[in-house]
Structure 1
Amino acid sequence: MTISVKESIMVQPAEATPRKVLWNSDLDLLAGNYHIPTLYFYNPNGTSNFFHPNILKEALSKTL
């Protein structure tokens, strides 16, 4: 598989991040502190423009 990077951007959150404390569960505390860089894409409605860059940027912005 060949991957061609056409653009690299920084996606900003759509809304400000809430300032509050979120406690880790016991399982999160036991799992260790490491990062696995993965990104999953789900096509919820079968449209052909699912991988359009603007749609992906907007969805990621809302998720952040």
Structure 2
Amino acid sequence: MSHEPPVPPDNQSPYPIEEPPHEHPAPLPPVAESDSGPPRALLIGGVAAAGLAVIGGVAAFLFRRKPGRKA
């Protein structure tokens, strides 16, 4: 005896209760690494240097001494 109420045939879900089995395709071939472009460490270093330059420029602009002002 089931604990679920009966479901009329017109009220049943059009979606399956269980997912059908999947067919797995063959794995993709490995991708060859190309030697074009600079190494990743060089890119990271360049971005870090540019960021420090921007921070230094902003700090110099914000903390510049104004003429006639006594420190």
The structure with more helix, counted as a fraction of residues: 2
Query: What TM-score, normalized by structure 1, do the two folds share?
Result: 0.19
Of structures 1 and 2, the one scoring higher in RCO (CA 8 A, sep 6+) is 1
Q: Give the structure with higher Rg (CA).
A: 2
Query: What TM-score, normalized by structure 2, do the two folds share?
Result: 0.18
